[in-house]
Amino acid sequence: MYSDFVDFVRELYQSEDFIPLHGPLFSGNEKQYVCDAIDTTFVSSVSEYVDQFERKLCEFTGAKHAVSVMNGTAAIHLALHALGVGASDEVITQPLTFVATCNAIVYTGAQPVFVDVDRDTMGLSPDQLDSFLQSNAEMKDDVAFNKITGKRIAACLPMHTFGHPVRIREIVRICDHWNIPVIEDAAESIGSTYQNQHCGTFTTLGVMSFNGNKIITTGGGGALLTDNEALAKKLKFLSTTAKTPHAWKYRHDELGFNYRMPGLNAALGCAQMEQLPNKIKDKRLIAQAYAEFTASKSYDFVCELDECHANYWLNTLILKDETEREAFLQYTNQQGVMTRPAWDPMHFHERFSNSTDIAFPVAEELYRRAVNIPSSSRV
């Protein structure tokens, strides 16, 4: 029944072997730069490659400052901590997200509170966010509190799902009205723009991930983007164990984190950044091929919005229902073409199930019907 899809994917990738969902591609200076980093002996965070990688991120995204860290989860945790999120606080986020988003919130002692997503972006819905705040929030001394729980609403954490930008300007406008800081989870969206501005640069802090399954990888890695110089210095300080600069003494005046990106990882990232523009072009060609293929089929392919330029990190099909989704997943994976369902919505997890008593029909519909399909770059 789904043989036409499998045949198309094999033709697209010119392979009869196993086709992964999203594999890394090393076709540039990766080995040269990593070996050079080894030769310098500066393989940890004190490495010119770390500085170079951060500069390249700024040049590509338009952010004034970038702070590289060990992974995207650490980046989210550090962002929340730097903005003062802590115990007895709440952080608004979306139920359709990777678990790391909510884990990082819990690391601070805060609790995630969920707001449903939009069907076309698969990310946090501004309309649902506005409705939630109008019904549940109140201001006390210019601070937003949940009038049901009595807890401070300390931040809002929307994610650009699978590389498709959310309506971030609307989210920021709503949160500004309530004086709620917004942290962009741009872990999946390097190369994606909304209204000609790069994702992760619309708010005080944006976070990125460079895991092995991302468009570019540092093996494991992440980064924080900001235009605030003082905040960037603070983030670098906190991510390097909050060690006060001194020629030989070890002084740590506040709680810090060992979240540094090693030079070896940054060297790999520098080589990957050199190839990023071509990878984005290729991934958009892959998405275009999927869109043309599915136009005459029963598959519903998720396309970017008019005001967006998506990186199509993971291409997504929306199937008829959960039964068809399961049949599709079983057949394609048996044929050696890797496909995956969307994540289990966070409120399905026992530890987050008490975060809210609101329904999330769109997130649950996407969970039942959405599948990610092979999306690796070919160049």
Under the banding of pLDDT at 50, 70 and 90, the label for residue 352 is: confident
pLDDT over threshold 70, residue 355 = no
Query: What pLDDT score does 244 carry?
Result: 87
Query: What pLDDT score does 126 carry?
Result: 98
pLDDT over threshold 90, residue 188 = yes
pLDDT over threshold 90, residue 189 = yes
CATH topology of domain 30-273: Aspartate Aminotransferase; domain 2 (3.40.640)
Q: Where are the beta strands (DSSP E) in the chain?
A: 65-69, 89-93, 111-114, 137-140, 143-146, 152-157, 183-185, 193-194, 197-198, 205-209, 222-226, 300-301, 308-309, 315-318, 340-341, 370-373
Chain centre distance of CA 134 = 27
Average pLDDT over residues 234-255: 91
Query: Euclidean distance between the first and final Cα of the chain, in Å?
Result: 31
Query: What pLDDT score does 356 carry?
Result: 64
pLDDT over threshold 80, residue 156 = yes
Average pLDDT over residues 89-112: 96
Tell me the backbone φ, ψ of residue 208, rounded to 5 degrees.
-130, 160
Query: What pLDDT score does 158 carry?
Result: 98
Under the banding of pLDDT at 50, 70 and 90, the label for residue 45 is: confident
Average pLDDT over residues 172-176: 98
% of the chain residues with pLDDT over 70 = 99
**Residue ranges per domain, the chain?**
30-273
pLDDT in tens, 118-135: 999 999 999 999 999 999
Under the banding of pLDDT at 50, 70 and 90, the label for residue 83 is: very high
pLDDT in tens, 269-315: 999 999 999 999 999 999 999 999 999 888 899 999 999 999 999 99
pLDDT over threshold 80, residue 357 = no
pLDDT in tens, 61-70: 999 999 999 9
Q: What is the pTM of this model?
A: 0.95
